[in-house]
Structures are given as structure tokens and as C-alpha cells.
Amino acid sequence: MTPRHDPCFPGGTPEDTGSRSYEPVRVGRISYMNVAPVYYGLNNGQKPDWMAMTCAPPAALNAMMAAGELDVSPVSSAAYARHQDKWLILPDLSIACFGPVMSVLLVSRHPFAGLAGRKVVLTRESATAAALTRYLLASDGIRPCLTVGRVRRADDLPDDTGAALVIGDAALREPWAARFDHVWDLGAMWRERTGLPFVFALWVVRKSFAEAHPDRVSAVLHQFYRSRSAGAGHLSRILPEAADRLGISPEMCRRYYHRLRYTLDSAQMAGLSAFFRGLYAERIISRPVGLSLFRDPGLQDAPGHERPIASACRRS
């Protein structure tokens, strides 16, 4: 039987390079529409048999990566900070924004400074958004009473609560500005403070897996690049499903996707480093965070090939 060819493996597929047989690479997928452009190709005929996909909410993917149940997955930036010793960042992949992101809002009955001493509800659904909220408050010297809950509609906010973090489809769908005097987009607040992009999520690989199977990780990485490229070329096909699932108009959905960035360039890396420095300075995390990236064996020796990120193998 002639082995099928995979362009990511010069000698074939992961299964037919050498004499060893491998289990499929276990890959995570966020079960939200915000990643639809990244997974478009993989969802439409590009996924090879040697990739086993698991679809789950971000918190579940964070836990599965930490437990060694996935090999490669998107994770929250905050989760990377906790597991930096065990994970490597895949180059040129993220969920980021430069300015308003539309889907991460702090809605409030009071001015920002007036939240001191008041109850502010955070969410378990996005560790990064919760950490960013804590940083923005702490860096202004505001010490609210933080609690955890889930706010999907304006009526979910108890009378004794000053503000709440709202994310995802609820942030996009509900008319928050009609019910609250103050609505802050956290992506816009971060840009106003720093002048930098904000990175909500990263794609990572378990360090032990990358050390044992660098060529397989490289193959997964390039599958993601191909899939993302296909998504960028077929946004008009993504919009109707996304609009239907999110409960918003296709035009609003288009504006939302145009605000998201799925790369990880030097400016986004700078924004990520600034975020981690801020969390450490405000004692929201217990130790500094270094950015350790996977070195792609398919690129490092290629003459004239520029890596997506110049410091792709060193801590910054």
C-alpha cells in the first residue's frame, strides 16, 4: 500500500516516517465561535487522520493540558503563566486584539474609581479576562470586593453588586449600554493604558511532547497555519453560522471578527510580556513569567526563511 503524502512531513505522514507507529496527536479546540477562522480548514477537509480533536470550553482545555490529556491546545494566557515550566508557546498563533474586542466587557453601576469597596463579579469562563480585570483595578489602586459568578443578562446582576465582567456571546448580544451607566471594553482599556495589543489566549504544546516529537509538533503547527489561511479566505461562509450561534447580526459578527487577531507578532509578544509583568507587580501571580516558544525544526535551518517571531527559541 502506498503511504499517503502529507506536505508537513517531507518523508510522508507522522505514521510512516521511520519504523515507529504513533498514537494520534491530541489537539484541543475552543468550543466558541471566536476561533472559527483558525479551525476552518481543519473543520472542512484539511484535518489529517493523525490529529485527534477535542472540543471544549477554555477552562476545560486548560485543565486537560495541565493533566497531560492533550498534547497541543489553545489555553488562556493566564493558564500559561501558571504552567510556563511545562508548556511551550507555538509561534504565530494567538487570540488577540488591538483596541476594542467587543466580547470582554466590564459593566458597572458606578464610575471606575467608585468601585472601591464594592462587589465586582468576575467569571470562571475566562481566567485571562478575570486577571486583566483584577490588574486594571489594582493598578489604579482600586480594591473592590471580588466574587465569582456568571452574568449573562442585565437582570443577573444582584442589587448589591457594583459591576460584573461579561464575556463571549452575552457581551455581544445584550444591550448593556442601555442598562448600565458605565460599560468598559477591556481590550480598549488595555490599549489606552499601554498602547499595546492584548493576548487573551495562546496555542501551546506540552514541553515533554515537543522534546520527544518535534516533527509532529511542527506538522500540527503548519496544519494550523493552513487552516487559518483557509478561514481568512472564507469568512463569508463563517459569518452566517457564527451570527446564528451568537444571536447577533452578520454585520456585527463581521465587525467582531475583524477586531480579533490570530497571529503572535512582536507587538503582541510585547503586550503579553507587559501583562505578565503587571500581574506580577500587583501580586496577582506569584512569580515572573518567561515566554518560551517552540522551535520549529522545519524552519530553523531553512536558508532565507524568516521565522514568524525572531526570538522563537529563547525566553524574553
For 66-79, how does the pLDDT look when each residue is reduced to its tens digit (9 = 90+)? 999 999 999 999 99
pLDDT interval class at 167 (50, 70, 90) = very high
pLDDT interval class at 268 (50, 70, 90) = very high
Whether residues 56 and 172 fall in one domain: no
What average pLDDT does the segment 130-137 reach? Answer: 97
* Residue-wise pLDDT tens digits, 207-233: 999 999 999 999 999 999 999 999 999
Residue 11 has pLDDT above 70, yes or no: no
In a domain, 287, yes or no: no
Asked if 56 and 62 touch (Cβ cutoff 8 Å), the reply is no
Whether residues 121 and 156 fall in one domain: yes
Whether residues 228 and 81 fall in one domain: yes
As a residue count, the chain comes to: 316
Q: Residue 205's closest CA among 214, 197, 196?
A: 214
Number of domains in the chain: 2
In a domain, 206, yes or no: yes
Range(s) of the domain holding residue 115: 104-194
Whether residues 90 and 110 fall in one domain: no
Domain termination residue (choose one: 194, 227, 243): 194
Looking up residue 57, the CATH number of its domain turns out to be 3.40.190.10
pLDDT interval class at 313 (50, 70, 90) = very low
Whether residues 89 and 207 fall in one domain: yes
The pLDDT of residue 123 is 87
In a domain, 305, yes or no: no
Whether residues 257 and 225 fall in one domain: yes
Burial grade of 1 (CB within 10 A; 0-12, 13-18, 19 or more): exposed
The pLDDT of residue 152 is 85
In a domain, 137, yes or no: yes
Asked if 282 and 138 touch (Cβ cutoff 8 Å), the reply is yes
Domain termination residue (choose one: 173, 194, 215): 194
Q: Residue 225's closest CA among 42, 3, 56, 87?
A: 42
Whether residues 78 and 132 fall in one domain: no
In a domain, 286, yes or no: no
CA distance 36 to 19: 36
Whether residues 88 and 204 fall in one domain: yes
* Residue-wise pLDDT tens digits, 113-130: 999 999 999 988 889 999
Domain termination residue (choose one: 166, 194, 222): 194
Q: How far does CA 251 lie from the centroid of its chain?
A: 23
In a domain, 90, yes or no: yes
This prediction has a pTM of 0.87
Whether residues 128 and 273 fall in one domain: no
- Average the pLDDT over each of 19-23, 123-127, 163-167, 266-270 and give the range with the smallest value: 19-23
Residue 307 has pLDDT above 90, yes or no: no
The pLDDT of residue 10 is 30
Residue 304 has pLDDT above 90, yes or no: no
Helix (H, G, I), strand (E, B) or coil at 294: coil
The pLDDT of residue 126 is 87
Which percentage of the chain shows pLDDT scores above 90? 76
pLDDT interval class at 159 (50, 70, 90) = confident
Whether residues 188 and 203 fall in one domain: no
pLDDT interval class at 162 (50, 70, 90) = very high
Whether residues 209 and 239 fall in one domain: yes
In a domain, 303, yes or no: no
Whether residues 189 and 252 fall in one domain: no
In a domain, 175, yes or no: yes
